[in-house]
Structure 1
Amino acid sequence: MTEPATPAKPAVNLGEGPGRLLVWLYGVFTVAAASRSVVQMIVDFGRAPLAYVLSALAAVVYAFITYSLVRGGPTARRAALVCCAAELAGVLVVGTWTLLAPGDFPDATVWSDFGMGYLFIPVILPVTAMVWLRRAAPGGAR
């Protein structure tokens, strides 16, 4: 005797439920990283150009993830997953780099020391978002 097939889980709107909190957090981090990097680049770019450019890059990644979560749909979900993986890689690389060669960073980036200046949210956020994106997928993990 065969077991009845379980119906596939329907797609979830990425901006609903826990996704709403992720949209809010990514939005806040977009504004924080962008404003910080813009001010730093205008005021004293020569002091720590690498750190300021990396913070600006983080802001762009955060903005794209925010947009993808708000937009929703399968293509946006896949794009957000890729960007969250890239964000996590960036946090791990920059976090390790800032610990091993602190002289390369006369000023901190958003991802310095694995986001310690931001309560480690930069390292926790992409992991949480990837879990949510996988669960929100049609037929995703339950």
Structure 2
Amino acid sequence: MINDCDRSAFPRPRAGRSSGVGRLLIVVYAVLALGATGRSVVQIIERFDTAPFAFTLSAIAAAIYIVATVALIAPGPVWNRVAWIAIGVEAAGVLIVGALSLAMPELFPETTVWSFFGMGYLFIPLVLPWLGLWWLAKTRTAERVAAASEAA
């Protein structure tokens, strides 16, 4: 009978960082990674001398978006830790650069991804890291619950 089937022989697939809401986050991170990378490359090639500090920060932001995207996709505890670090640095970066661009606008003669808290990107860079950190915390809790139920 089907009801007598041992369900432990058919373990449920684990929901990881790249499932559910995580997929949407990955898409948004990938789009920002492409956009920020393209923008910073063009800015650095065409007019680096007009805003070297701002354009360097733009390239750093692009690199962080790339690392965060890969870390959200890749499985395993090492990539989970990389995701936490990258998204944490992103959160701090957008707050610091955003505040700095308001306090010292002369450092930002041209806008960057994080200047003015990501205003040029509809404030997505300001909101995204907090959603990313929430998702990482949520999936970590789910992984702990799944591990505890398997151990029992």
Gaps spanning 5+ residues in structure 1: where?
A: 1-9
What does residue 96 of structure 1 align with? 99
> Greater RCO between the two (CA within 8 Å, min separation 6)?
1
| TM-score normalised to structure 1 length | 0.88
The answer to whether the Cα contact below 8 Å between 1:88 and 1:126 also exists between their aligned partners in 2 is yes
Identity of aligned residues (%): 45
What does residue 132 of structure 2 align with? 129
2:20 maps to 1:17: yes
The answer to whether the Cα contact below 8 Å between 1:23 and 1:70 also exists between their aligned partners in 2 is yes
Alignment of 1:19-98 (within 5 A): 19-98=22-101
CA distance in 1, matches of 2:69, 2:107: 30
Q: How many residues are matched?
A: 131
CA distance in 2, matches of 1:135, 1:50: 36
Q: Which amino acid aligns with 1:28?
A: V
Measured after TM superposition, the shift of residue 45 of structure 1 is 0.8
As a proportion of its length, which structure holds more helix? 2
Runs of 4+ in structure 1 off by over 4 angstroms are none
CA distance in 1, matches of 2:79, 2:22: 13
CA distance in 1, matches of 2:99, 2:41: 24
2:132 maps to 1:139: no
Root-mean-square deviation (Å)? 1.3
| TM-score normalised to structure 2 length | 0.82
- The Cα offsets for residues 58-103 of structure 1, whole Å up to 9 and x where unpaired, read as 0100000100111022221121011111101000000000000101
Looking at CA atoms only, which structure, 1 or 2, has the larger radius of gyration? 2
The answer to whether the Cα contact below 8 Å between 1:13 and 1:73 also exists between their aligned partners in 2 is no
Q: 2:114 aligns with which of 111, 114, 117?
A: 111
